[in-house]
A = this chain, B = another copy of it.
Amino acid sequence: MDFLTSDQNTLRALEKQLRLTYENFKRKQLKLNMARGKPCPEQLDLSSGLLESLQGDYRAEDGTDCRNYGGIEGLPEARRLFAELLEVRPDEIIVHGNSSLTLMHDLIARALLLGVEEGEPPWSRQPVKFLCPSPGYDRHFAICEFYNIQMLPVPLREDGPDMDLVERLVATDETIKGIWCVPKYSNPTGITYGDTVVERLAGMKTKARDFRIFWDNAYAWHDLTSQPDRLKNILTACEEAGYPDRVYIFSSTSKITYAGAGLAMVASSVKNINRLKKQMAIQTIGPNKLNQLAHVRFFKNAQNLLVHMQKHAAIIRPKFELVQKILQTELGAKKIATWSRPKGGYFISFNTLPGCAKEVVRLAAEAGVELTKAGATFPYGHDPQDQNIRIAPTYPPLDELKTAMELFTVCVQLVSIEKILRERSHPPAGYRDRKEAQIV
């Protein structure tokens, strides 16, 4: 049943019925939280034994006593392991503690105070802008907002940011100093950047000499299917394009081992890494090497880590499938929503009819299901179409997820009907179909 072409009486009758269902949900006094992309306890159980893997032997392979000070760049064996996984060289990576968000934040803070390379001024000397492919990761946007970095949203397409727009913007505005990217299984839309996009990002002419790509490869190994997306190596691409220092790559084990108690890493050119090591030496005497050693002992090699990720997938794949099934069953034919079918990562990106997202999230919250704040996936929390909702299915158990999603689809239908009926009686001026809607 297509809501958009249904007559008023049909919609009103359905609305009445949905309202009853909604009130029934409310009576259950649910308290479900789907706001953040959190691993569930079963996923965390996969790392049981990690902390115990040291067994009183605290020596790294080079003899370092990991209980004592030092080693700003991380243990050699940890650098080697994650270098292999991120397809960089061990001298192109720093392995640190929790978390990649901290590494990104600190890089931005230092860039503002000191600049990102010798001879270039601190970014904070003038207004700074960042390109923000959207929908995107709210915590990236929060860093910019916190430090008064102006965010320019750029539409995120199926193969990455709108590169025509990106190239045009960076070519002329030297205050645009960077771009945020979640290049694989992007947060929230789940897309992976295509090779051409990676190449264009690596090779584009930027007016700012000290332009940087913040490449948050948070879901590098977080595949849900046996045909995982492949992401082109951007560090190599930047080198080949003649901009070897353009990119900082970030990743972490927060969704591999323990969220908040894992390792984080940053990879870049040796020049950038050496500069960063010197800067980090002012901030810390070294990372938690015991945790690094425990991680390396636990995984032993990259292959085992990938096998570990398959176990994660086995736990969360049914949750993604359940969400897809419920969305398809409840909303599939109604033409009031679209959503992503990601092959990895932590989210399903859901688009309502324009102008409905906030109300859907509010209704769901009123019935005890907390979703990510509507708008959170856009700079300044402002979704210009008010239609994007990030669904985070990994944490709740299947039965709770089922309840939450059923309620969610009821909310989506209710809000959509109200909107359709309202607009039929008072068509909005300059109404545009959401398919034509431009983010920028």
How distant is the Cα of A109 from the Cα of B283 in the complex, in angstroms? 10
Tell me the number of copies of this protein: 2
Q: Count chain B CB atoms within 10 A of each CB in A58, A67, A102, A291 and give the residue with the most.
A: A67
| Cβ contacts A to B, 28 pairs, < 8 Å | A41-B65, A44-B65, A44-B68, A51-B54, A51-B294, A67-B258, A69-B259, A69-B260, A70-B260, A71-B260, A97-B97, A97-B98, A98-B287, A101-B283, A105-B282, A105-B284, A106-B109, A109-B109, A109-B113, A113-B113, A114-B146, A259-B285, A260-B286, A260-B287, A260-B288, A260-B289, A261-B291, A288-B291
Q: Which residues of A from 38 to 54 have beta carbons under 8 Å from B? A: 38-39, 41, 44, 47-48, 51-52, 54
Chain A 123-145 per-residue mask, 1 if CB under 8 angstroms from chain B, else 0: 01000000000000001001100
Partner of A36, one of B47, B54, B69, B291: B69
Chain A interface, number of residues (Cβ within 8 angstroms): 54
Write the A335-351 contact mask toward B (1 if CB under 8 angstroms, else 0).
Answer: 00000000000000000
A290 at the interface (CB under 8 A from B): yes
Q: Is A207 an interface residue (CB 8 A)?
A: no
List of B residues within 8 angstroms of A36 by Cβ = 69
The 10 A-B pairs of least Cβ separation, nearest first, read A105-B283, A44-B67, A261-B290, A261-B288, A69-B259, A67-B258, A146-B282, A260-B286, A102-B284, A68-B259
Interface residues of A (CB under 8 A from B): 36, 38-39, 41, 44, 47-48, 51-52, 54, 56, 58, 65-71, 97-99, 101-102, 105-106, 109-110, 112-114, 124, 139, 142-143, 146-147, 254, 258-261, 279, 282-291, 294
State in angstroms the CA–CA spacing of A102 and B287 once bound together: 10
B44 & A106 in contact (Cβ 8 Å cutoff): no
Neighbouring B residues of A285 by C-beta, 8 Å? 99, 101, 139, 259-260
Report Cα–Cα, A260/B68, bound state, in Å: 6
Q: In the complex, how many angstroms separate the beta carbon of A44 from the nearest chain B beta carbon?
A: 4
Checking B51, B68, B70 against A51 with a beta-carbon cut-off of 8 angstroms, the contacting residue is B51
**Residues of chain B with a CB closer than 8 A to A39's CB:** 68
A214 to chain B, nearest CB (A): 15
Cβ distance A236 to chain B, nearest Cβ, rounded Å: 30
Beyond A48-B56, A68-B260, A105-B283, 20 extra complex contacts between A and B, CB < 8 Å: A47-B67, A51-B54, A51-B290, A52-B52, A68-B259, A69-B260, A105-B284, A106-B283, A109-B109, A109-B110, A112-B113, A113-B113, A113-B124, A113-B147, A114-B146, A259-B285, A260-B286, A261-B288, A261-B290, A261-B291
* Interfacial chain B residues near A287, Cβ < 8 Å: 98, 260
For residue A33, give the distance in angstroms from its CB to the closest CB of chain B. 11
Q: Please indicate the chain B residues that have their CB under 8 angstroms from the CB of A58 in the complex.
A: 44
Nearest chain B CB to A27 CB, angstrom units: 26
- Taking a contact as CB atoms closer than 8 A, the residue among B67, B97, B279 that contacts A259 in the complex is B67
**A127-B51 Cα distance, complex, nearest whole Å:** 46
Residues of B within 8 A of A44 (CB): 58, 65, 67-68
Chain B's closest residue to A145 (CB) is B282
| A102 CB contact (under 8 Å) in B124, B254, B283 | B283
Residues from chain B with Cβ under 8 Å of A99 in the complex: 284-285
Chain B residues, Cβ within 8 Å of A294: 51
* Nearest Cβ on chain B to A364's Cβ, whole angstroms: 21
The reply to whether B284 and A101 form a contact with Cβ atoms under 8 Å apart is yes
